[in-house]
A and B are shown apart, each in its own frame.
Chain A
Amino acid sequence: MSQTATMSGAPASAPVPEAGPRGPKPKPFFTPKRIIIYTTLVFFSLYFLFPLYIMVVTSMKTMPEIRFGNIFALPSALNFDAWGRAWTSACTGLTCNGLSPGFWNSVKITIPSTIVSIFIAAVNGYALVNWRFKGSEIFFSILIFGSFIPYQVMLYPLVMITREMGIFGTLPAVILIHTIFGMPILTLLFRNYFASLPQELFKAARVDGAGFWRIFFEIMLPMSLPIFVVALILQVTGIWNDFLFGVVFAGTQNLPMTVQLNNIVNSAQGTPEYNVNMAATVLTGLVPLIIYFVSGKLFVRGVAAGAVKG
């Protein structure tokens, strides 16, 4: 189990890089070294910010502005026409209902998938820490190892399994798939978290004769709000951003936003409307971006823990 301990232990349970810099002592601000540091950081920040800027300004331009202006230029006016079109009338193939159906499909996929996957993983983590049974650690090791298997290896058998279950091409299938592939990292997260809680509470409850589920719901869950938030951020962004499982398992009526976005941009007929394309791209990125900016440090913690998921 040592490998998982190393992998997760470091990022998950502890250090969000908050602890305070360890570099040399502060010196006067404008030394050559400082200038180099800030120049480099600013340069990279520009690289990271550039696409966001381009995305947003392009989405507010008109097509003539795009065709005759330059890509850096600000839009002549705050113009959300393209956003409206991307949302309600951009064409994905033959249907021209914009991205909004994809948005709602993604909502329908993300909410249950997040709830189911987190609940199951929380129970797993709890059982692994407090109720170890013969072989439980072996299963856990394979689970972690399994998270590195390329999805393509399991794709076709999963099509067959969901078919036999009669859910292929429906929401339950894609929820099941997200639960399966979210399980390794989430289980790891909860396992490490529960392991870090003081064991006295658990023991006391056992002595009082409380059983598996009672301890879980009455003692463990109330204490695990922080890790639930981390798991929530991880799953919502991960599932929202998924493309492959949506394409294969969700069915044509439930295609998530990422898939519809790709159809709008890459399967469009006629003259491409780059402003609508970029508006659609911004809209698709908006949900994870909002989560990112609102959750701040918790997101950092989530992705650091989610490291294993890759």
Chain B
Amino acid sequence: MKKFAVVAAMATAFLGSTAYAAELEVTHWWTSAGEAAAIAEFAKVFEEETGNTWVDSALAGSGTGANPVIISRIIGGNPMGATQMNTGRDAEELIQAGLMRDLTDIVADLDIDSFYVDQELLEPCRYEGGLYCLPINIHSWDWLWLSTAAYEKIGQPVPTNWNEYVASWPALEEAGILPFALGTGWPINGIPGVLMAGIGGTDLVMQVNRDKNADAVRGPEFRKVAEAMDMLRSVVSPETMVPSFGDAGNQLLSGDAAGNIHGDWLQGDLQIAGGVPGEDYECLPALGLGTQLTGGGDSFYFPVLPEGTDPAVIEAQEQLARILISPEAQLKFNLVKGSMPIRTDIDLSGANACMTKALALLDNGLLPSGDFSLSSDTQKQLEDLNLEFIADDNISVDDYVERYATIIDQAD
């Protein structure tokens, strides 16, 4: 299988040719304002410390749109120097096929076991004794974001948990405020997982995401999740959906919408737009109900470059790998992105109110999120189901549960 990468020697022509300052192409799907500012921090540190050039290939369409491009380029023998992907199983076959570089020796002297927050994070990177990726942050979907402005308008205190939030919907609607903001496409996909962790509890998350237990889906706890999805459906319609999750964030800041469930990376966008946590928006981890967050994250992968590649580029890969997990880059990146660093030994006094809440919950351990423990195939099926459910009132809660169960049942 290694041959794939080797045969494609032609591609090297595109990947930098000067012997000393190499150009390293890095692909990622961090295109929202907050995400873009965060990845720029990595690029800055990389360029300053190594003198190499970071060639930025941002891919539109987030995980569902960008993943295929990244994967097909690696499979197609036209690999980039480094790429971001979700921590989890999206790249497992690429690792098995020998298309990714083994980083064991590169980070051997860094003793990564000593500082990684959670060894579980490294699990997807390990294969037959090798280490094929480096998780660079922990992100969590489990956030309910609430608009201070919206609740001022209706003269109510900002809710402190999901139940209070749901109870405030009628008043919001009466005031012409959208109770729930939602971007079109993939953002719906994280919501059931958040509801599972917040409403269903730790056991449910473990049974569904880790054990792929379809009976758990058919049980009473998941039913509450499905009913919550049904409630969301009643206040969301295609006309009110916005093009991207960043736009949903802006609706919160302006007070046009009251709430949104989305991952912590939304915070990067809220910050860029001038939002201050506690003043312009509130954040409720685990919906204000649970004590543990589900987590996944992003990892960097370094594809095996074709034979004949400039050694400087290969060295640049190694340099980048070490920089990404260095304390300096970790701190800068995660503060901007709004995610949690993977190192335990970083001074996070600069963290804002929301991140501090997250760090407190992190001590209780992380639950495996869907994008962490399910294959991309299963995730895609669930995304289709969620998209269909939210847009079509004819699908009953029972149907939803049963179809969710079937997908989990077939998941591997």
A–B direct touch in complex (beta carbons closer than 8 A): yes
- A residues within 8 Å of B by Cβ? 92-95, 159, 162-170, 248, 251-253, 263, 266-272
Considering only residues 56-76 of chain B, those with a C-beta below 8 Å from chain A are 56-61, 65, 69, 72-73, 75-76
What are the residues of chain A within 8 A of B250 when measuring CB–CB?
270
Q: Determine if A168 and B59 form an interchain contact, defined as CB atoms under 8 angstroms apart.
A: no
Q: Determine if A267 and B31 form an interchain contact, defined as CB atoms under 8 angstroms apart.
A: yes
Q: Determine if B8 and A168 form an interchain contact, defined as CB atoms under 8 angstroms apart.
A: yes
Give A248's nearest chain B residue, CB to CB.
Answer: B72
A-B contacts, 6 listed (Cβ < 8 Å): A93-B60, A94-B30, A95-B56, A166-B8, A267-B244, A269-B33
Nearest Cβ distance between residue B252 and chain A, in whole angstroms?
14
Closest 3 CB pairs of A and B: A168-B76, A94-B58, A169-B78
Give B6's nearest chain A residue, CB to CB.
Answer: A166
Nearest Cβ distance between residue A303 and chain B, in whole angstroms?
32
Nearest Cβ distance between residue B182 and chain A, in whole angstroms?
16
Bound: A82/B154 CA distance, A: 39
Q: How would residues 1 to 22 of chain B score, 1 for a CB under 8 Å from any chain A CB and 0 otherwise?
A: 0001001111100100000000
What are the residues of chain B within 8 A of A271 when measuring CB–CB?
247
Asked if A164 meets B7 with Cβ closer than 8 Å, knowing A95-B58, A252-B57, the reply is yes
The answer to the question of B219 belonging to the interface, with a C-beta cut-off of 8 Å to chain A, is: no
Most buried by A among B60, B61, B246: B60
CB-contact partner of A268 in B72, B78, B243, under 8 A: B243
CB-contact partner of A267 in B65, B72, B75, B78, under 8 A: B65
- B residues within 8 Å of A by Cβ? 4, 7-11, 14, 27, 30-33, 36, 56-61, 65, 69, 72-73, 75-78, 243-244, 246-247, 250, 306
Q: Determine if B69 and A270 form an interchain contact, defined as CB atoms under 8 angstroms apart.
A: no
Asked if A170 meets B31 with Cβ closer than 8 Å, knowing A252-B59, A267-B65, A272-B243, the reply is no
CB-contact partner of B247 in A166, A170, A251, A270, under 8 A: A270
CB-contact partner of A93 in B31, B75, B247, under 8 A: B31
What are the residues of chain B within 8 A of A268 when measuring CB–CB?
243-244
CB-contact partner of A167 in B10, B72, B73, under 8 A: B10
Asked if A163 meets B76 with Cβ closer than 8 Å, knowing A92-B60, A253-B14, A269-B32, the reply is yes
Give B14's nearest chain A residue, CB to CB.
Answer: A253
Bound: A94/B10 CA distance, A: 27
What are the residues of chain B within 8 A of A169 when measuring CB–CB?
11, 72-73, 76-78
Nearest Cβ distance between residue A142 and chain B, in whole angstroms?
27
Bound: A268/B184 CA distance, A: 12
What are the residues of chain B within 8 A of A168 when measuring CB–CB?
8, 72-73, 76-78
Give A249's nearest chain B residue, CB to CB.
Answer: B76
Q: Determine if B76 and A263 form an interchain contact, defined as CB atoms under 8 angstroms apart.
A: no
What are the residues of chain B within 8 A of A93 when measuring CB–CB?
31, 58-60
Q: Determine if A170 and B73 form an interchain contact, defined as CB atoms under 8 angstroms apart.
A: no
Give B55's nearest chain A residue, CB to CB.
Answer: A253
Q: Determine if A170 and B77 form an interchain contact, defined as CB atoms under 8 angstroms apart.
A: no
Nearest Cβ distance between residue B258 and chain A, in whole angstroms?
20
Give B4's nearest chain A residue, CB to CB.
Answer: A163
Given contacts A94-B30, A95-B56, A163-B76, 5 further A-B contacts (CB under 8 A): A162-B76, A166-B9, A167-B8, A167-B10, A170-B11
Asked if A252 meets B8 with Cβ closer than 8 Å, knowing A92-B60, A94-B36, A270-B246, the reply is no
Bound: A92/B60 CA distance, A: 7
Q: Determine if A263 and B7 form an interchain contact, defined as CB atoms under 8 angstroms apart.
A: no
What are the residues of chain A within 8 A of B246 when measuring CB–CB?
269-270
Bound: A226/B29 CA distance, A: 48
Asked if A170 meets B14 with Cβ closer than 8 Å, knowing A94-B31, A267-B31, the reply is yes
Asked if A252 meets B69 with Cβ closer than 8 Å, knowing A170-B11, A170-B14, A269-B244, the reply is yes
Q: Determine if B31 and A163 form an interchain contact, defined as CB atoms under 8 angstroms apart.
A: no
CB-contact partner of A252 in B11, B27, B36, under 8 A: B27
CB-contact partner of A166 in B7, B61, B65, under 8 A: B7
What are the residues of chain B within 8 A of A263 when measuring CB–CB?
60-61
What are the residues of chain B within 8 A of A269 when measuring CB–CB?
31-33, 243-244, 246-247
What are the residues of chain A within 8 A of B30 when measuring CB–CB?
94
Bound: A37/B14 CA distance, A: 59
Bound: A94/B32 CA distance, A: 8
Bound: A163/B33 CA distance, A: 35
Bound: A253/B23 CA distance, A: 14
Bound: A272/B247 CA distance, A: 10
Bound: A263/B60 CA distance, A: 7
Q: Determine if B72 and A159 form an interchain contact, defined as CB atoms under 8 angstroms apart.
A: yes
Most buried by B among A165, A267, A269: A269
What are the residues of chain A within 8 A of B32 when measuring CB–CB?
269
Give A266's nearest chain B residue, CB to CB.
Answer: B243
Q: Determine if A163 and B56 form an interchain contact, defined as CB atoms under 8 angstroms apart.
A: no
Nearest Cβ distance between residue A273 and chain B, in whole angstroms?
12
What are the residues of chain A within 8 A of B57 when measuring CB–CB?
252-253
What are the residues of chain A within 8 A of B10 when measuring CB–CB?
166-167, 170
What are the residues of chain B within 8 A of A253 when measuring CB–CB?
14, 57
Give B273's nearest chain A residue, CB to CB.
Answer: A270
CB-contact partner of A94 in B56, B75, B78, B247, under 8 A: B56
CB-contact partner of B78 in A92, A95, A170, under 8 A: A170
What are the residues of chain A within 8 A of B31 when measuring CB–CB?
93-94, 267, 269
Q: Determine if A267 and B8 form an interchain contact, defined as CB atoms under 8 angstroms apart.
A: no
Bound: A272/B306 CA distance, A: 41
Bound: A251/B14 CA distance, A: 11
Bound: A252/B4 CA distance, A: 19
Give B29's nearest chain A residue, CB to CB.
Answer: A93
